[in-house]
Chains A and B, each alone.
Chain A
Amino acid sequence: MNTPNLEDMGCGTSSATKDKKSEKALKAALVIQNWYRGYSARLKTRQRYALTIFQSIEYADEQGQLQLSNFFSFMLENYTNVPEKEPGLVTRLFGSSIQDKDRQDYLGLIEIPDSYCGPRLQFPLTFTDIDLLIEAFKQQQILHAYYVLEVLFETKKVLQQMPNFTHTNTSPSKEITICGDLHGKLDDLFLIFYKNGLPSVTNPYVFNGDFVDRGKNSMEILMILFVSFLVYPNDLHLNRGNHEDFMMNMRYGFTKEILHKYKLHGKKILQILEEVYTWLPIGTIIDNEVLVIHGGISESTDLNLLHRIERNKMRSVLMPPIPMDGDRAEKKNKLGTATVALGIRTSGSFSEQLTKQEWEQVIDILWSDPRGKRGCYPNTNRGGGCYFGPDITSKILNKYQLKMLVRSHECKPEGYEICHDGKVITVFSASNYYEEGSNRGAYIRMSSGTTPRFFQYQITKATCFRPLYQRVNAIESSAIRMLKERMISRKTDLIRAFQLQDRNKSGKLSMGQWAFSMENVLGLNLPWRSLSSHLVTTDKDGNIDYMSGFQDVHIQKPVKEVQSSLIETVYRYRSDLQIIFNIIDSDHSGLISMEEFRSMWRLFKSHYSVHIDDSQFDELAERMDLNKDGSIDFNEFLKAFYVVHKFDQLNKSDTKLA
């Protein structure tokens, strides 16, 4: 009479036992589910923490730009104080290499050998050239310098005709696609083109800056974008990002990539590239409604002014306009002489640079970040631009009758993020930006009158997805390593701060005390309590053995006899030093003279208030004159300062210098 069911079959038991059994199963399931949800949440939190670490460190690095920029200003303003020997140094720092040969001459001198089996472009370019490049780059071929230069020359020519802001319109049948930072990740660009189609008259794109640096295919991305631009100048729109800046490239890897791939003509490529960057438009305005710019806005953003300025005078974020205070005539004379001595091609006037106000307007556009807090504050994280709140967004959008701001500049875990009540969208297109598994990339498709649609993706090297916990482990270890390297580069300062609080000299601090010092000295706003288990050992009372944080890492001493504090200082400032050296080394030989090396260090030292004996540094320099010929190979010099992680299987190729 009872309809047989699964639980009845094969069981000769009474229904009471059956109920008890299923109740047990229910309870067991609950236990497992509860445990799993807790575990999964903790995994996701670890992932978030890792991203927070990466991001904090990235922004702290960018903040270093401000110091460097101030250093350059300081140098330029005080050049008269520089003793006799030094003017050559300053010349090298600030003189742009005189343009010698013009395009025809230069290109005419380059020969493409018959053995070259890379892609050959045909000018005037057509869509077949785009395909050609993509196929070639998929096979890891390198485009010959001749074509690179041709493309750069042509791109500059076409960009010069374009206004500061590109105005474009969409229609229901013609959507536009907006992509964010790519940072040299070629696979992401391929994926976007695969999913979304190649650019064409019916498939327009906006690329919102930061095409280069960090990834290893910045050149290839640039070539594909520029060639596409030349083929479809009215449908492929490029905005300048903060990394389209020759000085940023020196620090973040593109310069190195170029000099490595183009040993013969790299220098020329860098020269032209510098100019091409300055001609990139500041932004794009879609349907008179949507403003697309790389960073953000500030409360004083003046779109009318930005439409008018001579954008090509914005050379670099690290080269603010020379101030003109005091007696104008005298200053002009002094600096007039200087400008000649410095080799800057002016006729004694400041016509070559923007006004301070104009320059700051551009910096705001390229560097600002939206935040939830109302108002507008200096972007202390990055050292440039500002933080702008939802009220600022409303104010500026209303002022110019715009509806939305689309920007990039910040890595987001999901590839995009909407804030300020739907008025600001961040789109970021470099997946796995910090580390494999760190984030997705995204792009937006939109047309007037419809809601924007978001498309996400993530490149993976593995043929099958690794389980989440493995991916999280990977990015977590990577983030912790970076954090430890930071700690070691500030070891002396940290120990001093710890000891100040450790009255009893017990070697221990409370969690609160430790966290306070870490945050203060490192200047990183991180969840220190949660991270402490990865960084230090804690005793059973919850107190922290603060020296344990330095146990399994140390900076390799290139020379034994030199003081740790000097090693630490060089390690800490190695990125800045790299930029400075690169500038001094105007012929990109990789070598600078001992004299220059020493003078640079002295100036650097005084400006950055570094307290290291000159003699210590001299000794280090002597010992590192590896060639013993009076010149320093600074790449070798900087490479010698790397951090050793005690439990590393791999060797020093792990450290990322720039």
Chain B
Amino acid sequence: MADDRDRDSTEVAVAEFHKKIKEAFEVFDHESNNTVDVREVGTIIRSLGCCPSEGELHDLIAEVEEEEPTGYIRFEKFLPVMTEVLLERRYRPIPEDILLRAFEVLDPAKRGFLSKDELIKYMTEEGEPFSQEEMEEMLSAAIDPESNSIHYKDYITMMVIDEN
């Protein structure tokens, strides 16, 4: 009995996931032909609440791409892969406190801020480096123009409020 119920609720969950995924996909399907530009797939996946790293994203794209990459991803291939991701709750987003701790690691002197240069250095040289565009975008919102620094605690709070 429990199995039946589990199966039913999974089916319902899958049906809802399918609709959610379809919605997100369609917004980027500019030509209304069930395909999206491969460069927007990352955005779609993230808009569904997942936070894959660049490396993980690369792998996902490989799964949904055609045998001979065309630059476009078809919905038929995207749907099953994405459904699995959602069902397995993969690539969960970073909780706020972990994010705060990450900033604190980069600020060992515990000043409460990072200088613009420091942030640029870390973001463009470490980990999975930002492109220039990504860096500029982050700076435009994060930086306090007077001190040329990022007060990360305030920044995080602001971003979190904005998302909710």
Q: A31 near B106 (CB under 8 angstroms)?
A: no
* Contact bitstring B8-46, A, C-beta under 8 A = 1, else 0: 000000011001100110111111110100000011111
Q: A26 near B126 (CB under 8 angstroms)?
A: yes
Give chain A's interface residue range (CB within 8 Å of chain B): 35 or more
CB of B1 closer than 8 Å to a CB of A: no
Q: Which residue of B lies closest to A419 (CB)?
A: B31
Among B16, B28, B33, point to the contact of A512 (Cβ < 8 A).
B16
CB of B144 closer than 8 Å to a CB of A: no
CB of B59 closer than 8 Å to a CB of A: no
* Contact bitstring B44-73, A, C-beta under 8 A = 1, else 0: 111100110110000000000000000000
Among A28, A48, A372, A465, point to the contact of B106 (Cβ < 8 A).
A28
Among B32, B51, B159, point to the contact of A34 (Cβ < 8 A).
B51
CB of B138 closer than 8 Å to a CB of A: yes
A interface, by DSSP: helix, strand, loop or mixed? helix
Q: A529 near B19 (CB under 8 angstroms)?
A: yes
The size of the chain B interface, using a CB distance under 8 A, is 49
Among B53, B105, B138, B159, point to the contact of A28 (Cβ < 8 A).
B105
Q: Which residue of B lies closest to A389 (CB)?
A: B33
Among B30, B46, B99, B141, point to the contact of A32 (Cβ < 8 A).
B99
Please give 12 more A-B residue pairs, beta carbons under 8 A apart, in addition to A37-B51, A515-B19.
A27-B105, A27-B127, A28-B101, A29-B122, A30-B126, A31-B94, A32-B99, A33-B128, A34-B51, A39-B159, A41-B42, A467-B140
CB of A157 closer than 8 Å to a CB of B: no
CB of A25 closer than 8 Å to a CB of B: yes
Q: Which 5 A-B pairs have the closest CB atoms?
A: A372-B33, A372-B31, A41-B46, A29-B127, A467-B141
Complex interface: chain A residues within 8 A of B103 (CB) = 28, 32
- Contact flag A40-B134 (CB < 8 Å), given A31-B94, A33-B127, A417-B30: yes
Among B126, B127, B141, point to the contact of A469 (Cβ < 8 A).
B141
Complex interface: chain A residues within 8 A of B28 (CB) = 48
CB of A38 closer than 8 Å to a CB of B: yes
CB of A331 closer than 8 Å to a CB of B: no
Among A25, A44, A529, point to the contact of B43 (Cβ < 8 A).
A44
CB of A24 closer than 8 Å to a CB of B: yes
CB of B2 closer than 8 Å to a CB of A: no
Q: A35 near B51 (CB under 8 angstroms)?
A: yes
Among A25, A467, A470, point to the contact of B126 (Cβ < 8 A).
A25
Q: B99 near A35 (CB under 8 angstroms)?
A: yes
Q: How far is the CA of A44 from the CA of B41 in the complex (A)?
A: 12
Q: How far is the CA of A515 from the CA of B35 in the complex (A)?
A: 23
Complex interface: chain B residues within 8 A of A27 (CB) = 102, 105, 127
Q: B26 near A527 (CB under 8 angstroms)?
A: yes
A residues 481-522 touching B (CB-CB < 8 Å): 511-512, 515
Q: B16 near A42 (CB under 8 angstroms)?
A: no
Residues of A in contact with B (beta carbons under 8 Å apart)? 24-42, 44-45, 48-49, 52, 371-373, 417, 419, 465, 467-470, 473, 511-512, 515, 527-530
Among B20, B53, B102, point to the contact of A529 (Cβ < 8 A).
B20
In the assembled complex, how far is the CB of residue B51 from the closest CB belonging to chain A, in whole angstroms? 4
CB of B123 closer than 8 Å to a CB of A: yes
Q: How far is the CA of A465 from the CA of B29 in the complex (A)?
A: 29
Can you give 5 A-B contacts (C-beta < 8 A)? A34-B128, A37-B42, A38-B50, A48-B28, A465-B140
Complex interface: chain A residues within 8 A of B123 (CB) = 29, 32-33
Q: B105 near A25 (CB under 8 angstroms)?
A: yes
Complex interface: chain B residues within 8 A of A512 (CB) = 15-16, 19
A30, A32, A37, A371: which has the most chain B beta carbons within 10 Å? A32
Q: A30 near B128 (CB under 8 angstroms)?
A: yes
Q: Which residue of A lies closest to B28 (CB)?
A: A48
Q: A45 near B127 (CB under 8 angstroms)?
A: no
Q: B141 near A468 (CB under 8 angstroms)?
A: yes
Among A372, A468, A473, point to the contact of B32 (Cβ < 8 A).
A372
CB of B4 closer than 8 Å to a CB of A: no
Complex interface: chain B residues within 8 A of A469 (CB) = 141, 159, 162
